[in-house]
C-alpha cells in the first residue's frame, strides 16, 4: 500500500546521498556553537551568540550557531554530529547540562577542541585534554544586585513598595542558587532585616509564569525584583513595566536590548547583572587562535576578571540615590580586593 511508495522515496534519497552529503556542507565554518535550547532569550544564549559574532568580526573566524532545541534526547547526537563532521576544529557549548555530554564525547574526538562555558567536566575521570571549561562567580554579581535592590528599597523612594525585594529564578539549580545566595547576602548586608522573596518558575522558557510570579511579588510589596530566569525573565520585565516597579536583569544588558523596541520597559530595568559570556568566549577563542588556550582545565571568572559586572542604564540610574550607588561601588571594590568573600551555593565554596 504505502510501503512501496515510501521505499521508493527512501531509495531516491539514498541515491542522492553520495553527491549531496558533502556538497551540502559547502564553505568551511571553523567554530561551531551548539545551543542546547534556542536563541532569542535576550539573555544567556544570546550573549554567547554575540561573543561568537564578535569573534567573527575581530578574529576573522568563520562561525556557525546551531540551535539544538529543547528536547534533551537530541543533544547528544547533535554534539557528536558536529564533532564527527570534521568541519569544526573547535566547538563551543555551555551550561552544566552539557558538561556530562562533553565529557562523554570529547575523548572520542581528540582533534576537536571543546570550549565549555558555565559548565564543567570532571578532568579527574575523563581524558579531556581537549576541553577548556569556564565557570563564573555569578554570586559576586548577585551580591551587587542585592546591595542595589535593598538599598533602593530602604531609601523608600519607590511608591507603594515596602521593605522588601524579590527574586524570580528559573529553576533551583546550583548556578541560579549561586546568583540567589549572593543576592540575599548583598541585600542583608545593605539593609539588615530586609525581606527577600524568592520563587522559581521551573522553566527557562516560560515568560507567562515569570510574569505571574513577578506580579505576586510586586503585589506583596517588593520594590525591586532580580530576575535570573533566562527567557522566563521577559515576563518579569513585562510585570515591572505594568506595575511601575523595578527589575534587575541578568546575563545581557537587558535595558540596552529593550531600549529601541520598548523604551518604557527599558526604563524599569535598573541594571543587569552581566555574566559576560560573550567576552569570555571571545577571550577563549582569541587564546585558542594564539595557541595559548589552557586546555584540560577549568578557569573561574568573576568581577576581578571582568567576566561578571553590572550594566549601566542611564535612564534608571537617575532613580538610584547617590548613597546607594556609592555602596554598590564600595562592595564591588571590596570583592575585587578580596576583602569581601561572597557566599556561594556551590559545594566546596566555589563554583
Partner 1 sequence: MTPSREGARIALAVGAALALGFAVMACVSDHPWAAFRALLTGPLPSIERAADGRMVVHRLVRFGAWLQDATTLTLVGLAIAIPFRARQFSLGADGQLFMGALAAAAVSLGLGDTPTALPLAFLAAAAAGAGWGLVAGLLKTRFEANEIVTTLMLNVVAVQVYRLVVGRVLNDPTAGFITTPPLPEAATLAPLIARTTVTAMVLVAPAAVAAALFLLRRTTLGYEIDLAGANPWFAVRAGVPVARATALAFALSGAFAGLAGFHVSNALLKRLPVDLTPGIGLEGIVVALLARGRVGALPLAALGYAYLRVGAQAMERATDVPREVVLVIQALIILFVVSDRLAPLALGLMRRVRTNLGGRAA
Nearest to 194 by CA among 223, 226, 154: 154
Among positive and negative, which fits the CA dihedral 251, 252, 255, 261?
negative
Task: Kindly indicate which of the ranges 168-176, 217-225, 269-277, 294-302 contains the residues binding partner 1, using the contact rule CB under 8 A.
Answer: 168-176
Instruction: Give the residue with the Cβ less far from partner 1, 22 or 292.
Output: 22
Taking the complex as a whole, how short is the minimal distance between the CB of residue 12 and partner 1, in angstroms? 8
CA atoms in the 13 A half-sphere facing the CB of 345: 20
Which letter does DSSP use for residue 342 in this model? Answer: -
State which residue, 24 or 260, has the beta carbon closest to partner 1: 24
Q: Minimum distance between the CB of residue 135 and partner 1, rounded to whole angstroms?
A: 10
Q: Does residue number 84 form part of the binding site for partner 1 (CB under 8 A)?
A: yes
- What backbone phi and psi angles, to 5 degrees, belong to 177? -60, -30
Give the residues across from 310 on adjacent strands: 273
Nearer to partner 1, 82 or 148 (CB): 82
Quick check: 76 binds partner 1 (CB under 8 A)? yes
Collapsed DSSP state (helix, strand, coil) of residue 305: coil
**Contact between 8 and partner 1 per CB under 8 A:** yes
Q: Strands 308-310 and 269-275: what pairing?
A: antiparallel
CB of 197 to partner 1, least distance (A): 20
Query: With binding defined as CB under 8 A, does residue 69 bind partner 1?
Result: yes
Instruction: Tell me which residue of 125, 48, 54 sits closest to 91, measured CA to CA.
Output: 48
Site membership for partner 1, residue 108 (CB under 8 A)? yes
Sign of CA dihedral 215, 220, 226, 230: negative
Q: Which of 28, 57, 73, 124 binds partner 1 (CB under 8 A)?
A: 73
Burial of 114 (0-12, 13-18, 19+ CB in 10 A): buried
Q: Of the two residues 100 and 343, which places its CB atom closer to partner 1 in the complex?
A: 100
Give the span between the Cα atoms of 234 and 323, in whole angstroms: 29
Task: Say how far apart CA 243 and CA 1 lie, in whole Å.
Answer: 61
Residue from 30, 96, 189, 315 touching partner 1 (CB under 8 A): that is 96
Q: Does 208 bind partner 1 (CB under 8 A)?
A: no
Cell of 244: 511601575
Number of residues in contact with partner 1 under rule CB under 8 A:
58
Nearer to partner 1, 63 or 271 (CB): 63
Q: Could you tell me where the beta strands, DSSP code E, fall in 278-349?
A: 297-301, 308-310
Name the nearest CA neighbour of 279 among 311, 249, 255: 311
Of these, 2, 60, 125, 292, which contacts partner 1 (CB under 8 A)? Answer: 2
Map the footprint of partner 1 across residues 291-350, applying CB under 8 A: 347
* Stretch of 83-91, 218-226, 282-290, 301-309 lying at the interface with partner 1 (CB under 8 A): 83-91
Cell numbers representing residue 261 in the block: 523596541
- Pick between residue 271 and residue 344 the one whose CB is nearest to partner 1: 344
- Cβ closest to partner 1, residue 1 vs residue 318: 1
Catalog residues that contact partner 1 under the rule CB under 8 A.
1-6, 8-10, 13-14, 16-26, 38, 64, 66-67, 69-74, 76-78, 80-82, 84-86, 95-97, 99-100, 108, 119-120, 171-175, 202-204, 347
Amino acid at each position: 500500500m504505502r510501503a512501496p511508495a515510501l521505499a521508493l522515496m527512501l531509495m531516491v534519497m539514498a541515491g542522492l546521498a553520495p553527491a549531496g552529503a558533502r556538497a551540502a556542507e559547502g564553505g568551511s565554518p571553523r567554530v561551531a556553537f551548539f545551543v542546547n535550547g534556542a536563541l532569542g532569550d535576550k539573555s544567556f544564549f544570546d550573549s554567547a551568540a554575540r561573543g561568537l559574532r564578535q569573534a567573527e568580526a575581530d578574529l576573522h573566524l568563520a562561525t556557525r550557531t546551531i540551535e539544538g532545541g529543547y528536547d534533551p534526547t537530541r543533544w547528544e547526537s547533535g554534539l557528536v554530529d558536529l564533532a564527527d563532521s570534521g568541519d569544526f576544529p573547535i566547538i563551543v557549548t555551555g551550561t552544566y547540562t552539557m558538561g556530562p555530554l562533553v565529557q562523554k564525547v570529547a575523548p572520542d574526538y581528540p582533534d576537536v577542541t571543546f570550549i565549555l562555558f558555565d559548565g564543567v567536566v570532571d578532568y579527574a575521570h575523563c581524558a579531556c585534554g581537549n576541553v577548556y571549561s569556564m565557570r563564573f562567580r555569578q554570586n559576586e554579581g548577585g551580591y551587587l544586585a542585592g546591595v542595589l535592590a535593598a538599598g533602593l528599597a530602604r531609601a523608600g523612594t519607590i511608591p507603594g513598595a515596602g521593605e522588601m525585594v524579590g527574586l524570580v529564578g528559573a529553576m533551583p539549580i546550583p548556578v541560579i542558587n549561586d546568583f540567589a545566595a549572593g543576592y540575599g547576602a548583598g541585600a542583608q548586608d545593605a539593609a539588615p532585616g530586609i525581606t527577600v522573596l524568592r520563587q522559581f518558575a521551573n522553566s527557562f522558557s516560560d515568560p507567562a509564569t515569570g510574569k505571574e510570579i513577578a506580579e505576586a511579588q510586586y503585589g506583596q510589596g517588593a520594590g525591586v525584583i532580580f530576575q535570573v530566569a533566562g527567557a522566563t525573565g521577559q515576563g518579569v520585565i513585562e510585570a515591572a513595566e505594568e506595575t511601575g516597579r523595578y527589575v534587575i536583569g541578568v546575563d545581557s544588558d537587558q535595558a540596552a536590548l529593550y531600549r529601541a523596541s520598548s523604551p518604557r520597559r527599558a526604563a524599569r530595568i535598573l541594571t543587569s547583572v552581566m555574566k559576560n559570556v560573550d567576552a569570555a568566549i571571545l577571550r577563549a577563542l582569541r587564546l585558542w587562535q594564539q595557541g595559548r588556550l589552557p586546555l584540560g582545565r577549568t578557569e573561574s571568572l568573576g568581577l576581578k576578571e571582568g567576566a561578571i559586572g553590572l550594566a549601566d542604564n542611564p535612564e534608571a540610574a537617575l532613580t538610584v540615590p547617590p548613597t546607594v550607588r556609592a555602596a554598590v561601588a564600595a562592595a564591588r571594590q571590596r570583592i575585587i580586593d578580596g576583602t569581601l568573600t561572597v557566599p556561594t551555593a556551590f559545594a566546596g565554596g566555589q563554583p
